[in-house]
Amino acid sequence: MDKKPFSNNKSKGSKQGKKGFKNAGFVALLVLFSLVIFAAYGQPGNLKDISTNQAVREANNGQYSKIEKKGNELTITKKGESQPSLKSTVDPNASLKEEGFNTSKFEIKYAPEASSGSLWGTLLISLLPILLIGGMLYFMLKSAQGQGNQALSFGKSRARLYGNEKDKVIFGDVAGQAEAKQDLEEVVEFLKFPKKFASLGARIPKGVLLVGPPGTGKTMLARAVAGEANVPFFSISGSEFVEMFVGVGASRVRDLFAKAKKNAPCIIFVDEIDAVGRRRGSGMGGGHDEREQTLNQILVEMDGFEQGQNVIVLAATNRADVLDPALLRPGRFDRRVGIGLPDRQDREAILKIHFKKKPVSKTVDLDALAAKSAGSSGADLANIANESAIIAARNNHPEISQHDVTEAFERVAIGPERKSKIMTESDKMTTAYHEAGHALVGHVLPDSDPVHKVTIIPRGGTGGVTWFLPPEDKVYTSLIEFKDVLARALGGRIAEEVILGRDRITTGGGNDLQKAAEIARDMVINQGMGSKLRDQVFHVDEGMMMERIVHERSYSDDTAKVIDQEVEALITEAGERARAVIKANMDKLEALKDCLLQKETVDADEVKEIFKGTTLPKAAALY
């Protein structure tokens, strides 16, 4: 999915031109240098040039002691002199005899090629240090200038321009998300046929906000809009606006919008807009001011768009609740497209897309995989498909088998198996009781999801895993379902306590307790499911660190105390219920523990078989 961006060619071209010019200057300097040196080392300049006829005459008169011939040049040494003082030229193809020289009157030396080579050799050697120093200077200059360029380009947006045909994304590549696609189809129409809307006096929206959890295909959909409308697509991430230096965010926004206007019709896509678009006014410290300036600039630019400019700004976020209301005003991001986690049908469609180009065995059941992957995002499913291929390749399978897919699913959902991690016998035993405890409590309580698999093979960071899967996609969770989830989360720790005694409980339950505490707090604070604090919610802004200290919360210290008590009550109750279930079904706990120690992994059907005839004690039943 990695697209090759082609960035602003124009600026690149001009930069290269400048560099070329500098290169030429450098070469000229070098040539000058070598000429000077050549002159110094070459023929002494004080040789007197004489005509060939004069040379022949004087030579035949016996006035010369030595003639050196090199190509068409003669270097002549007079009798009684030790150094040559004359020079002349002859036809290079004719011998001296043919020229009329009486060759017995003087010594002839034919300057061999090697001599000129050695001249060049000495030249090169003497030039080498200069070349080296020159080269070093050149590179130092160049890198320094490169840094200078970079510093200058800080204010430039890093927007990447997509839109080349090869890696175009279209709606067909995005599985499911029918409603979102329908909404975005309209945006495509705006970009393709602006006149149609303008003629009816319709105001084309400037901004469209894509809202949805991570990995649901927001970025993909935005690119598909560009692909469908066949327009350029400038993509930038919110965090890129504010990175590194204060004061560049706003100028980057200006630059980006200027670029986009030049390329209209086009799409500007601001990914993760919450990085800059958080509510203003709670500012403390420089980071906030920077963010605000950037955000203000975005607002200014969007207001500055004129009708018919035909630039549409798409933005994506998974935190629409923290966005500044000014962003959502009409004329800015006034359209909102919700993108949810895929339902079962969509999951299957997504899996099909991602398995399409891979060799898959006929036994692979994507329908079943879609059924058990409730809560997975499109990105998770793409990841499962990729992991399947990796696992199949590592197992040297010619095609992806059902087993590879199952392993990939588990790896993505709960982390890879750590078979090599060796546990002591007593740790293994404790883990078996612990996991059997989770499974037993989950199985016996009527509103818990069924057990999918229990294993004491370490996975990810845990000693073992008990895995519950909802039989179908659920939209809501009831209070009693929450309570059963809490009880089964504590089931592991309570089983350890019942079997080994309070002193021997282990750190294996730490994670469970943390998760339970989170759920209980969410129940009380966000869902109004407390017993005293009924039907009230208590907003906590999970903003930045500073905000949390300053604005902290919208309720009093007394309420905070009550919330803590409520959470504690929920956890205590869950522990009691888990204990009641375990004590009433000790034989089943032992049976699953034995099975786990023997087989390490027990699946849904076997668990059901072992747990046949469990009883729900009164103390654990809530109604």
Q: Where does this chain bind ligand ADP (CB under 6 A)?
A: 1, 174-177, 212, 214-220, 316, 350, 353, 378-379, 382
Rounded to 10 degrees, the C-alpha dihedral 575/581/440/576 comes to: 0
- The residue (of 174 and 523) whose beta carbon lies closer to ligand ADP is 174
Interaction of residue 512 with Zn ion, rule CB under 5 A: yes
Closest residue to ligand ADP, based on beta-carbon distance: 378
Q: In angstroms, rounded to a whole number, what is the distance separating the alpha carbons of residues 181 and 221?
A: 8
> Near Mg ion by CB under 5 A, which window of 113-121, 191-199, 212-220, 546-554?
212-220
**Which contiguous run of DSSP H or E holds residue 53?**
helix 52-60
Among candidate residues 348, 410, 435, 497, the one labeled active-site is 435
SS3 state at 261: helix
> Near Zn ion by CB under 5 A, which window of 3-11, 91-99, 485-493, 554-562?
485-493
* Contact present, 410 and 384 (Cβ < 8 Å): no
Q: Is the N-terminal amide bond of 265 cis, ω within 30° of 0?
A: yes
- The residue (of 219 and 293) whose beta carbon lies closer to Mg ion is 219
Residue 545 interaction partner, one of Mg ion, ligand ADP, Zn ion, none, beta carbon < 5-8 Å per kind: none
Closest residue to Mg ion, based on beta-carbon distance: 219
CB 233 to ligand ADP: min, Å: 13
Exposure on the CB side of residue 374, measured as CA atoms within 13 A: 12
- The residue (of 88 and 466) whose beta carbon lies closer to Zn ion is 466
> Near Zn ion by CB under 5 A, which window of 176-184, 217-225, 312-320, 506-514?
506-514
Using CB under 5 A, count the residues that bind Zn ion. 2
* Contact present, 444 and 592 (Cβ < 8 Å): no
CB 342 to ligand ADP: min, Å: 6
By CB under 5 A, what part of segment 79-118 binds Mg ion? none
CB 460 to ligand ADP: min, Å: 22
CB atoms within 10 A of CB 185: 12
Beta strands in 106-231 (DSSP E): 107-110, 160-162, 207-211
CB 4 to ligand ADP: min, Å: 16
> Near Mg ion by CB under 5 A, which window of 26-34, 216-224, 338-346, 564-572?
216-224
- The residue (of 240 and 512) whose beta carbon lies closer to Zn ion is 512
Catalytic site includes residue 547: no
By CB under 5 A, what part of segment 438-477 binds Mg ion? none
Q: How far is CA 118 from CA 124, 126, 176, in A?
A: 9, 12, 77
- The residue (of 123 and 498) whose beta carbon lies closer to Zn ion is 498
Residues 6+ apart with CB under 8 A from 282: 288, 543, 547, 550, 551
Q: Is the dihedral of CA 317, 320, 324, 326 positive or negative?
A: positive
SS3 state at 365: coil
Interaction of residue 219 with Mg ion, rule CB under 5 A: yes
Interaction of residue 491 with Zn ion, rule CB under 5 A: no
Residue 216 interaction partner, one of Mg ion, ligand ADP, Zn ion, none, beta carbon < 5-8 Å per kind: ligand ADP
Rounded to 10 degrees, the C-alpha dihedral 103/108/113/118 comes to: -170
Q: How far is CA 299 from CA 22, 267, 487, in A?
A: 42, 16, 49
Phi, psi of 601 (to 5 degrees): -125, 130
Using CB under 5 A, count the residues that bind Mg ion. 1
Alpha-helical regions (H) of 320-418: 344-355, 366-372, 378-394, 402-414
CB 580 to ligand ADP: min, Å: 43
Interaction of residue 301 with Zn ion, rule CB under 5 A: no
* Contact present, 321 and 277 (Cβ < 8 Å): no
- The residue (of 95 and 239) whose beta carbon lies closer to Mg ion is 239
Binding mask 28-47 for Zn ion (x = CB under 5 A): --------------------
Residue 175 interaction partner, one of Mg ion, ligand ADP, Zn ion, none, beta carbon < 5-8 Å per kind: ligand ADP
Q: In angstroms, rounded to a whole number, what is the distance separating the alpha carbons of residues 305 and 309?
A: 6
How many residues in the chain?
A: 623
- The residue (of 218 and 411) whose beta carbon lies closer to Mg ion is 218
SS3 state at 131: helix
Cα Rg, the chain, nearest whole Å: 41
Joined tokens for residue 236:
């930038």
Interaction of residue 496 with Zn ion, rule CB under 5 A: no
CB 219 to Mg ion: min, Å: 3
CB 268 to ligand ADP: min, Å: 16
- The residue (of 70 and 319) whose beta carbon lies closer to ligand ADP is 319
CB 508 to Zn ion: min, Å: 6
CB 350 to ligand ADP: min, Å: 4
* Contact present, 206 and 313 (Cβ < 8 Å): yes
Q: How far is CA 406 from CA 132, 257, 387, 410, 472, in A?
A: 62, 47, 10, 6, 18
- The residue (of 412 and 432) whose beta carbon lies closer to Zn ion is 432
- The residue (of 167 and 552) whose beta carbon lies closer to Mg ion is 167
CB 378 to ligand ADP: min, Å: 2
Residue 217 interaction partner, one of Zn ion, ligand ADP, Mg ion, none, beta carbon < 5-8 Å per kind: ligand ADP
Q: In angstroms, rounded to a whole number, what is the distance separating the alpha carbons of residues 374 and 178?
A: 18
> Near Mg ion by CB under 5 A, which window of 45-53, 213-221, 227-235, 279-287?
213-221
Residue 227 interaction partner, one of Mg ion, Zn ion, ligand ADP, none, beta carbon < 5-8 Å per kind: none
User: How far is CA 604 from its chain centroid?
Assistant: 37
Residue 492 interaction partner, one of Mg ion, ligand ADP, Zn ion, none, beta carbon < 5-8 Å per kind: Zn ion
CB-count burial class (<10 Å; 0-12, 13-18, 19+) for 101? buried
Q: What are the residues binding Zn ion (CB under 5 A)?
A: 492, 512
Residues tagged active-site: 435
Interface residues toward Mg ion, by CB under 5 A? 219
